[in-house]
Structure 1
């Protein structure tokens, strides 16, 4: 069990990340932790894992947690055994088996005589049986590193597990191994993830924001239903407040017009009656003061309603505020873009594919390229884009405009400011104010325009990339997306999905995110 009370965290620069976190997780619960990029999900996991200290509040655990971070680069200099924290046990066991049965070696082993056998069995389960415990992590792929740390759950016999984006870098086969583990395990899990298939296996769902945690007692489907109800209620509240504001402004106008007419009639009667000028001035000042008071009363009322309306609108989901407006490709549907005959590519005298490839891609298709890690997906993309030539076979490629978007959105240049990056795509000479309007539409307000692109999060880089595509008046005929959802939170995945569904050109995607693939209407699969 874990009990968190009034937990807060403030960055060293004094910015508040979150406050008043109150949370209880029962033993054997499988809990999802979600929230927008920057909401503090990874920080909260690190606090629970004991890697950093909260600013205030209390934390009580009944078991030491096993923590798997999102990024593994800091472990590259370590061996697999060292990274998993079992090197002392392994060394102690080996020394005892050699005959060095010292008290120190028995202490290192800590009576865990099955540690080496457990490693072998677990590595087989995670398809890592070709790895050695003394191998350095820097020699492994991203997917292998992820599976090593997932294997560490069973190897260390952990009962309370913290996982930060565990399906990142995993191919489809490995993701299915992860889903199977989550379904079958009796361990207590707290998982940060944007993988919606994984989230469907967890219950409850916790949503983290600056003001605390909202608990949804169900899986991700239940969470989505509840958020839809909340969003519908929010829209009703906004419409109601808009009507109230309109009515208040009309009332203000009518009241002031009536007061002005009354004052004008009164002044005319007094002048006809020969009232002294000094008295007229006194009565005029009194009328003006009265009108001013009326203005103040109504202005205060309309201002209050406007503030309430602004607060409500600030809660509207970001992608509901955005307008993409992509132009269509000029290519007619069905035009042959790419055709191959018996192609292959050779690395170090070895062919990438066992069988040569025959492919056809025509305009308007939505294609997914599938295959395990190392199956040649990136090689095929580079052949399609003309970046490399085949070692064998023939390729026909039409002259088209194409754009390649990888998971790091590396088309965004780190040295540019947000505004400078937008101008890089301004090929049709849009005016400065048009560029700034589009930046604002993609949630980049005025105060962010001078911000360097190197400081942007994955979600911000993605939104800037989409904004740039709308600035470049002619959207490319072909967009290639390589694991586009890997570094995005759920909200930004929804933004990406909405943009892709509005694009009407040819689309090629490499992704292991099955939910994303279903939602962008893939019609053709290339299996490698």
Structure 2
């Protein structure tokens, strides 16, 4: 796919704020040339907003956005009209209708104008669909007949058909199953124009040429893929930590020297007063010496005070360079499950939407990865295990307390604070006990009093996880449904560390294989009509 080397994206002095006054970008500059750029950053840093500004969906309050070449944009939350035909979604319906009219013998000029030079539009459309694993989808079918993951790939196929010079992708692998993700990886790897992709998907970010890290309203550039970025960042952070230690030592030294200067000044004042009292020297000489000593001491004190302030400023700058890598700590003894203990039994289970589980047993602190294509019934299975859905037949028996964190993160009440939400799950716990435990989930002090409605995606996830894990009785079986969707990379790392110290049984439905490997999965299963064991080597 050939693209112009002149294609580029430029932002100059870009400023944008939401109607409530929340500033997202202020005087922001950015220049992106050909190649694949991975845009990363914490939840709430403004990545999706920046992509919408580049795509022209939002208007900046100040500054300019200049995109050279045609732009294609794949938003994070894609909503397509279910009544649309596939050829309409691909943007070729008008051309295709004219082509068919000509084939039927209608030689009207309007049809030839509509077709232009695009005589192979159907072949190109089918090739684009085939590239993304959608060859089975006919051009005359409607969007309502395809899955959510397929509709994302369909939108990408439409973009590829247009051959844009600049491609903007916002979390494109969200809601895609493993097979669909691999198709998307191939499409990204073969892209030769300008691409800016916002993602937390490690495998996808290994395909980019450079990383743009959006932090505190500025972008820092790192050459290479995600692995190269993490290596460079580790070196940076080691150096930053050493700078902090040196700055702390300097502040201590300046404090000590200032204290010593004050002691010397006090001694001089006492000595001068003693000489004055005993009148050993003429009064004029003593007064002159006193004034000289006061001036000298004042300068000395000011010099040390300034040095201390400078040392404190250097320390503040050094601390700012060190990233907040606080980790969630989940040392909850009541969640532990002894090895061999029966945790969950599924017998002749038939799910509401057709999938079946003949027999399945979870024992001890097993860590089970639940994989399968979109629409296979993974979420339905988890909801049936919790009792939220009634099975069509068979039974799901939980032998320990359990909790499930759904994809929608709707376990919290937006009207309540973080602390109040946790109190709903543990009504017998005191406020002090709740706050002490919330601190382990990085909700310290006033952060625990924030209304849930004001939390970012990563914070909301952390609060939901806290509410479930701090519930009484403590869950000895924790089920997570696509937990890494819409989490930034720092939040994924925090979740991974948190789950490392969880001592209960885990069932995690996810397409994020690097995350699953990171949390120490002990058994892999696939749901596709039936539940079957999966060899880790096949994943």
With normalisation by structure 2, the TM-score equals: 0.84
For residue 526 of structure 2, what is the aligned residue in structure 1?
527
Structure 2 Cα separation of the partners of residues 273 and 151 of structure 1: 99
Q: Which runs of 5+ in 2 are unaligned?
A: 1-6, 528-539
Structure 1 Cα separation of the partners of residues 425 and 351 of structure 2: 33
Structure 1 Cα separation of the partners of residues 161 and 273 of structure 2: 93
For residue 321 of structure 1, what is the aligned residue in structure 2?
326
Asked if the contact 2:417/2:450 (under 8 Å) is kept, the reply is yes
Pick which of 144-153 and 88-97 moved more: 88-97
The offset of 1:525, in angstroms, is 1.1
Q: Sort the Cα spacing of 1:437 and 1:360 in 2 relative to 1 into closer, same or farther, 3 A.
A: closer
The offset of 1:243, in angstroms, is 1.1
Aligned residue for 1:333, secondary structure, equals: coil
For residue 184 of structure 2, what is the aligned residue in structure 1?
178
For residue 435 of structure 2, what is the aligned residue in structure 1?
435
Aligned residue for 1:47, secondary structure, equals: helix
Q: Where do residues 62-461 of structure 1 align in structure 2 (5 Å cutoff)?
A: 63-73=69-79, 75=81, 78-133=84-139, 135-137=141-143, 140-268=146-274, 270-272=276-278, 297-318=303-324, 320-328=325-333, 329-347=335-353, 351-353=354-356, 356-398=357-399, 400-425=400-425, 427=427, 429-431=429-431, 435=435, 438=438, 442=442, 446=446, 451-461=450-460
Aligned residue for 1:174, secondary structure, equals: helix
Q: Sort the Cα spacing of 1:464 and 1:343 in 2 relative to 1 into closer, same or farther, 3 A.
A: closer
The offset of 1:156, in angstroms, is 2.6
2:25 aligned with 1:17, yes or no? yes
Q: Sort the Cα spacing of 1:510 and 1:16 in 2 relative to 1 into closer, same or farther, 3 A.
A: closer
The offset of 1:221, in angstroms, is 1.2
Deviations along 1:55-83, one digit per CA (max 9) or x if unpaired, are: 3145241x312221111126556544444
Q: Sort the Cα spacing of 1:395 and 1:473 in 2 relative to 1 into closer, same or farther, 3 A.
A: closer
Structure 2 Cα separation of the partners of residues 284 and 402 of structure 1: 79
2:480 aligned with 1:481, yes or no? yes
The offset of 1:131, in angstroms, is 3.9
Aligned residue for 1:148, secondary structure, equals: helix
Structure 1 Cα separation of the partners of residues 397 and 316 of structure 2: 55
With normalisation by structure 1, the TM-score equals: 0.85
The offset of 1:136, in angstroms, is 4.9
Deviations along 1:397-436, one digit per CA (max 9) or x if unpaired, are: 31x2222112332222212234433443554544459728
The offset of 1:265, in angstroms, is 4.4
For residue 56 of structure 2, what is the aligned residue in structure 1?
50
Asked if the contact 2:418/2:449 (under 8 Å) is kept, the reply is yes
Pick which of 285-294 and 198-207 moved more: 285-294
Structure 2 Cα separation of the partners of residues 323 and 209 of structure 1: 21
Structure 1 Cα separation of the partners of residues 362 and 239 of structure 2: 45
Pick which of 112-121 and 191-200 moved more: 112-121
Q: Sort the Cα spacing of 1:280 and 1:460 in 2 relative to 1 into closer, same or farther, 3 A.
A: farther
Structure 2 Cα separation of the partners of residues 396 and 463 of structure 1: 28
Structure 1 Cα separation of the partners of residues 13 and 104 of structure 2: 50
Asked if the contact 1:408/1:458 (under 8 Å) is kept, the reply is no
Pick which of 108-117 and 122-131 moved more: 122-131
The offset of 1:491, in angstroms, is 1.7
Deviations along 1:302-351, one digit per CA (max 9) or x if unpaired, are: 33333332333234333x2345253122432331111234333354xxx4
Asked if the contact 1:352/1:375 (under 8 Å) is kept, the reply is yes
Aligned residue for 2:30, secondary structure, equals: strand
Aligned residue for 1:36, secondary structure, equals: coil
The offset of 1:223, in angstroms, is 0.9
Aligned residue for 1:337, secondary structure, equals: strand
Aligned residue for 1:308, secondary structure, equals: helix
For residue 32 of structure 1, what is the aligned residue in structure 2?
38
Asked if the contact 2:24/2:45 (under 8 Å) is kept, the reply is no
Pick which of 232-241 and 261-270 moved more: 261-270
Structure 1 Cα separation of the partners of residues 328 and 255 of structure 2: 29
Q: Sort the Cα spacing of 1:23 and 1:241 in 2 relative to 1 into closer, same or farther, 3 A.
A: same
The offset of 1:179, in angstroms, is 1.6
